[in-house]
A and B are shown apart, each in its own frame.
Chain A
Amino acid sequence: MTEQELISIPLMVDVPYRFAAGKYMSKFLIELRDNGKFFGIRCPKCGRVQMPPRVVCAVCHVKNEGWVELGHEGTLLGFSIVHLPLTDPTTGKPHETPYTYGSVRLDGSDSALDHLINVEPDINKIKVGMRMRVVLRPREERIGDLSDIIYFEPIAGES
Chain B
Amino acid sequence: MKRKVAIIGGGQTHHASHRKDVNQVELVNEAVRAALADANMTIDEIDAVLLGNMEFFEGCHMTDCWLADGIGAYGKPGLKITTGGTVGATIVVAGAHHVASGLYDKVLCVGFEKQEEGDSSAILSAVAHPLYGRFLAGAAVGYFAMMGASYMQAYGAREEHSAMVAVKARQNALKNEYAHLKLDITVEDVLNSRMLAYPIHLLEMCPTSNGAAAMILADEKTARERSDKPVWIRATETAHNEQFELDWRDVTTKKPIFSRVAAERLYKKLNVTDPTKFFDVFEIYEPASWAELVWYQDLGLCKPGEGFHLIEEGRTEIDGDIPVNPSGGVLSTNCIGASAMLRIWEAALQIRGDAGEHQVPKDVNWALTTAYGGTNWTVMTALSKEWDE
Contact between B133 and A114 (Cβ–Cβ < 8 Å)? yes
Residue B197 at the chain A interface, CB threshold 8 Å: yes
How far is B244's CA from A151's CA once the two chains are assembled, in angstroms?
A: 19
Q: Which B residues lie within 8 Å of A29 (CB)?
A: 131
Q: Once the chains bind, are A103 and B249 in contact (CB under 8 Å)?
A: yes
The answer to whether residues A13 and B242 also contact, given A78-B146, A78-B149, A82-B139 and a CB cut-off of 8 A, is: no
Which of A78, A84, A89 contacts B125, CB < 8 Å?
Answer: A89
- B248-287, CB < 8 A from A: 249-250
- Whether a CB of chain A sits under 8 angstroms from the CB of B196 is yes
Shortest beta-carbon distance, B187 to chain A, in Å?
A: 19
Q: Which of B131, B141, B250 contacts A19 (CB 8 A)?
A: B131
With A103-B249, A111-B245 already in contact, the answer to whether A84 and B197 are too (CB < 8 A) is: yes
Indicate the member of A82, A102, A115, A145 with the most B CB atoms within 10 Å. A82
Chain A residues, Cβ within 8 Å of B142 = 80, 82, 86, 101
Would A52 and B137 count as touching, CB distance under 8 A?
no
Is A21 part of the contact surface with B, judged by Cβ < 8 Å? yes
**Neighbouring B residues of A103 by C-beta, 8 Å:** 146, 246, 249
Q: Decide if B309 is an interface residue (CB 8 Å cutoff).
A: no
Which of A58, A86, A115, A145 has its CB near the most chain B CB atoms (within 10 A)? A86
Contacting pair B122 A89 (CB below 8 A) = yes
| Interface pair A128/B136, CB less than 8 Å apart | no
User: Is A52 in contact with B20, judged by CB distance below 8 angstroms?
Assistant: no
Q: Is A84's CB under 8 angstroms from B141's CB?
A: yes
Partner of A90, one of B21, B134, B243: B134
Contact of B132 among A82, A83, A116, A146 (CB under 8 A): A146
**Contact call A25/B132, Cβ cutoff below 8 A:** yes
- Contact check, B20 vs A8: say whether CB atoms are below 8 A apart: yes
| A80 CB → nearest B CB, Å | 4
Contact (A77, B250) CB under 8 Å given A87-B125, A89-B125: yes
B135 and A88 within 8 A (CB): yes
CB of A82 within 8 A of CB of B197, answer yes
B153, CB-defined interface residue at 8 Å: yes
Decide if A89 touches B246 in the complex (CB within 8 Å): no
Report whether A83 and B249 are in contact in the complex, using a CB–CB cutoff of 8 Å.
Answer: no
- Is B158 an interface position by the 8 A CB rule? no
- Whether A114 contacts B122 by the Cβ 8 Å rule is no
State in angstroms the CA–CA spacing of A25 and B243 once bound together: 13
Out of B125, B134, B243, which one reaches A54, CB within 8 Å?
B243
A to B CB contacts below 8 Å, 6 in the list: A13-B59, A54-B244, A78-B147, A83-B196, A112-B245, A114-B246
| Other 18 A-B pairs with CB < 8 A, given A58-B243, A114-B136 | A6-B20, A6-B21, A13-B59, A52-B129, A80-B142, A80-B197, A82-B198, A83-B194, A86-B138, A88-B138, A89-B126, A89-B128, A90-B134, A101-B136, A112-B246, A114-B133, A128-B150, A146-B131
Q: Which 10 A-B pairs have the closest CB atoms?
A: A58-B242, A80-B145, A89-B125, A78-B146, A81-B198, A82-B197, A145-B131, A84-B196, A80-B197, A90-B135
> Which residues of B are interface residues toward A (Cβ below 8 A)?
20-21, 59, 121-122, 125-126, 128-139, 141-142, 145-147, 149-150, 153, 194-198, 242-246, 249-250
